[in-house]
Each structure stands twice: as C-alpha cells, then as structure tokens.
Structure 1
Amino acid sequence: MKNTFIHKNAVLGNNISLGNGVTIEQDVVIGNNSQIGNNVTILSGTRIGENCQIHSNAVLGGMPQDLKYRGEYTLLEIGDNNIIREFVTINKGTISKGKTSIGNSNLIMSNAHIGHDCVIGNNSIIGFSVGMAGEVIVQDWVNISGLTAIHQFSIIGENTMISGLSRVVKDVPPYIIVAHEPLRFAGVNTVGLKRREFTSDKIDELRSIYRVLFQEKRNTKFALELITEKFRKTVERDKILSFVEQSKRGIIKGYEF
C-alpha cells in the first residue's frame, strides 16, 4: 500500500482491502469485507457499509457544491453491497438534510456525480457520467442510463428506466420508461417489471392507468379522480396516485397512445 494515508481516528472493519495512494480522513467508518481501490479519497463524515467495492480515483464525502454550505457537520452514508466505479464523486449533505444517503446493492458507474443531500434507494443502476444535482431522490430498482443530467429536487419513481442522454427536469413516476427530448413517457417498464416478477395482468393494469393519466385532456387532477374511480385499490395504483399528487415539480409529459 504505497502512499496510503489512514487517519488514526478512522474506523475500518475486518478484511478491508486497500489499494495504493488511498486517503482516508478522520471520522470515516468502513464496514467489513469492503474493497478500496487505488487513489480513492474518502473524506471526513463518510460512512460505508459492508461488502462495498470502491474503485480507483473515486472521491467520497467531498464538500457540497452549494453556496449555502458553511462548513456545518454533515454526512455521506453508504449502505451495504454497493459497487462504486472509477472517478465517481459523491458529496456529503448540507444543512438542508444533513446527509447524502445511498442505500444497498446499487451500481454507480464511472464518472457519475451525486450531489449534496441526494437520497438513492436500493438496487439501482446509475449509468456512466450521470450528473445528479443536489437533493434528488431516486427510489428503488431504478435504471438511469449514461450521460443523463438530473435537475435538483427531482424525484425518480421506483422501477423506472431513463434512457441515455436524457435531461430530467420534472418528476418521473414509477414503473415506466422515459425517453426523447423533451423527456416524456415511452411506455411501461415491461422488461424491468417482468424481471421483478410482476405478472402480465399487473403490467396491463399499469399500462391502463398510465393511459388514463397521460391521455386525459382536461387536467391531471381530473385524471387522478378517474383513476381512483375506474381502477380497484392496489399497492401499485396507490403509489402512482400518491406520487403524482405529491409532486412539487410536476411530472414528465406523456405521448399519444
């Protein structure tokens, strides 16, 4: 381990693998069986779970790129079984939320950036060179393709897929694929949902719900009322209704079915 610096107050678990040129500052915790590649920098306030792979030249826990940050104590929390590839940067939080949070079993590909106070769920794929501004929320089982730019405060619903080179400036509801410019609904995420063992009947239900949501010409409020009236209560129906009702930025546009 040439040119490696580990602060005496850092807490490292058992069976940690460290490459050359690693810097680990004070107030860092790394769980058991994690692998830290060459020239990785892990800054104060970072917490990393077990069985994580941090590849070469990643920088974790850097200062927020936000003018309201005044050096207050904040964290970056990363769960278990995550793969963080080369040159990824993840900033810690600001006074807004106090931390940036990454869940479990995510793949974050090379050169991606995750800004301050973001919340990433579980089992998601963040593609290469994805740029994620501050306070973005990504729910579970999301696939964000490469070179996508995501506006601050945007929310990406669970089980969605975002095509490459996308510009996300509105919220993306769950269970769908979004593509094109400007970004809009491109269908239900059939392949992803089948992999998660959603039945054909359930996928048809989701397709019908979104047909109402995106074809209703009057307004979104009326579309939600129609969905509530027309479709029986299910977990998926209610997640869609709740997501759209609570969206502050508004949701992406649809297309003609």
Structure 2
Amino acid sequence: MATSVHPTAILEPGALLGEGVEIGPYAFVGSEVRLGEGCILHHHASVVGKTEVGPNNEFFPFSSIGQKSQDLKYRGEPTFLSIGSGNRFREFVTVNRATGEGGRTVIGSDNLFLAYAHVAHDCVVGSRCVFSNNATLGGHVRVDDCVTIGGLTAVHQFCRLGAYAMLGGCSKIVQDVPPYCLVDGNPARLRSLNLTGLRRRGFAEEALKSLRRAFRLLFEEGKNLSQGIEAVESSGEAAPEVVALLDFLRTTERGVTR
C-alpha cells in the first residue's frame, strides 16, 4: 500500500510517514510528526509539534492536532502528544500538546471525536470513548475507557471521568464523575447508573445487579461518601465492577459529582 501526498499538501522536512499514509489537499504535517501506517489526513487537516501518531487514524478537514498548549504558563519548552490507533478526529477538532518540559498529552485508541471537540494540555484519554460535538476538556483531565461525553459539555481542569460513564449534553463538570454512572446538568448532578450504556457494552445482568445495590448504598440513602463506601464494604459486594467503583471513589481528589 503506497503512501500518497497531494501536490498541494505541505510536508515539512523531517516528518516521518508510515506505509499507506494519505495526505490530502492543503493538509500540513510538521517536521517532528510521526504518522503510523494507514493514517489519513483529509484536506486542510494539520498535525504539528512533537506528535507521535499510531496506525489507522483519520483526521478530517480543519482538525488541528498537536498545536502548543494554550496554558498561559507555557513558555515554549519541548512537550509531546501521543495518539494510539484507530481514532477519528472530525472537523475542527483540536488536541494540544502538554505544558511543562517533557510533558505529554495522551490519546488512546478507537476514540471518536466529533466536530469542534477539544482536548487541552496534559489530558489523558483512554480508549473507545465518544466526544460529542463541542465536548471540551480543560487541562490535566483524565478520561478512562469507554466514556461518552455529550455535546456542548465542558469538563473543569484536573477532573477525572470514570470508565463507562455518560455525561449528558450541555453539562458543567466540576468534580470527578464515578465510573458506570450517568451525570447531567449545570452544574452536573449524579442521575443514575448508565444502565443502557452498560448493556450496550455487554455487561452481564448479574454485574448490573451488583452495581445497582452498590449505587443505592453509596448515593441513595443519604450517607456521606465515607459512610457509603463502608456500607458497600460491609454488604459483601465483591463484583469486579463494584471493586473498581470503590477504588475510584477512595482516590478522588476533587470530590465526586453527586
């Protein structure tokens, strides 16, 4: 599979392209970029900076990947962006490199970023996530695997979004979002377990029953977080999903959306 570069594209000296890469009209690839095999840059897409891209990523028109951090503390020191495989970056998506020398923004694999989504400096995004249109992450946000972020939702810096969480559209996220849960609102509030999403992801009904029992003890009986965790531990719930939920809650630094 041959690499293809349109005559109007700009490929700076030093850029490395894997086998089968396609660079469309007026696209731009910076000198320090490494593109894995099978990547596609549609017209007017740009990938710049110290950016490493795995195989089979697709960059739609006017996406801007690897630009320097927008953090006011950034002074031009060398920072990085790492992208896994099989991601799709739709029109006008922006992903920034890190702030602070040697820092790294990280994107996993098989994510879908819809138009105008933004990933700020020093974020870590897992795999198989969906960012709806205009979903926005502040700096240093961590997004675990299989998270869905609704359109026009903004996440405050340093927040963490737990695996399989669902964030409703137009939400304002200022604290951590527990895994397996659905939050919505401005500011966001915890609404329920993300049962529809979990079933679509293939979770067994027994696991969902365990999570429902844990959710009730944690969030529906008026206990504070420590009391809720203690109640779940005392109940003997030991499903892996419940263990993961408790581990997340114990390690929160910004507090939990409730």
| TM-score w.r.t. length of structure 2 | 0.95
Task: Give, in whole Å, the separation in 2 of the partners of 1:43 and 1:154.
Answer: 27
Matched, 1:251 2:242: no
1:215 Cα deviation after fit:
2.6
Structure 2 partner of 1:221: 226
Aligned partner of 1:80 among 82, 85, 97: 85
Determine if the alignment matches structure 1 residue 67 to structure 2 residue 98. Answer: no
Number of aligned residue pairs: 253
Comparing 176-185 and 222-231, the one that deviates more: 176-185
Within the alignment, does 1:100 sit opposite 2:105 as a pair? Answer: yes
Tell me which of 50, 60, 68 is aligned to 1:45.
50
Contact 2:172 2:187 in 1 (8 A): yes
Aligned mate of 2:201, from 196, 199, 204: 196
Which residue pairs with 1:25 in the alignment?
30
- Tell me whether 212-221 or 140-149 shows the greater mean CA deviation: 212-221
Residue 60 of structure 2 corresponds to which residue in structure 1? 55
Query: Are residues 157 and 96 of structure 1, via their aligned partners in 2, closer, same or farther at CA, if it must alter by over 3 Å?
Result: farther
In structure 1, C-alpha distance between the alignment counterparts of 2:108 and 2:173, rounded to whole Å: 22
Say if 2:182 and 2:194, in contact at 8 Å, map to a contact too.
Answer: yes
1:37 & 1:231 partners in 2: Cα distance? Answer: 53
Letter in 2 for 1:95: G
For structure 2, which runs of at least 5 residues remain unmatched after alignment?
Answer: 1-5
Kindly tell me: are residues 24 and 69 of structure 1, through their superposed partners in 2, closer, same or farther at Cα, counting changes over 3 Å? same
SS of residue paired to 1:101: strand
Q: Retained in 2: the 8 A contact 1:60–1:90?
A: yes
Q: Is contact 2:33-2:52 (8 Å) kept? A: yes
In structure 2, C-alpha distance between the alignment counterparts of 1:211 and 1:96, rounded to whole Å = 45
* SS of equivalent residue, structure 2 residue 191: strand
1:164 is aligned to 169
Match of 1:233?
238
Partner of 1:12: 17
Give the conservation status (yes or no) of the 8 Å contact 1:74–1:94. yes
> Hey, what's the Cα distance between the residues in 1 that align with 2:159 and 2:236?
28
How do 1:139-150 residues align onto structure 2 when only pairs under 5 Å count? 139-150=144-155
**Structure 1 regions of 5+ residues with no counterpart?**
none
- Structure 1 vs Structure 2: percent identity of aligned residues? 35
Compare 236-245 and 107-116 and name the one that shifted more.
Answer: 236-245
Q: Once superposed, what is the RMSD of the aligned Cα atoms?
A: 1.3
- Deviation by residue 1:93-135 (Cα, 9 ceiling, x = unmatched): 1128711000000000011111000000000001111111100
Displacement of 1:181? 3.2
CA contact (8 A) 1:59 1:89 kept: yes
Larger displacement relative to structure 2 (9-18 or 231-240): 231-240
Higher mean C-alpha deviation, range 53-62 or range 195-204: 195-204
- What whole-Å deviation, never above 9, does each CA across 1:136-155 have from its counterpart, x for those lacking one? 00000111011001100010
Match of 1:121 in 2: 126
Rounded to whole Å, the distance in 1 between the matches of 2:93 and 2:170 is: 18
Alpha-carbon contact 1:124-1:142 (below 8 Å) kept: yes
Q: CA deviation at 1:233?
A: 2.1
Alignment-mate amino acid for residue 227 of structure 1: V
SS in 2 for 1:205: helix
Compared CA separation, residues 31 and 88, structure 1 to 2 (3 A):
same
Q: Deviations over 1:142-179 (max 9, x none)?
A: 11011001100010000111110010001000011111
**160 and 218 in structure 1: CA distance in 2 versus 1, 3 angstrom threshold:** closer
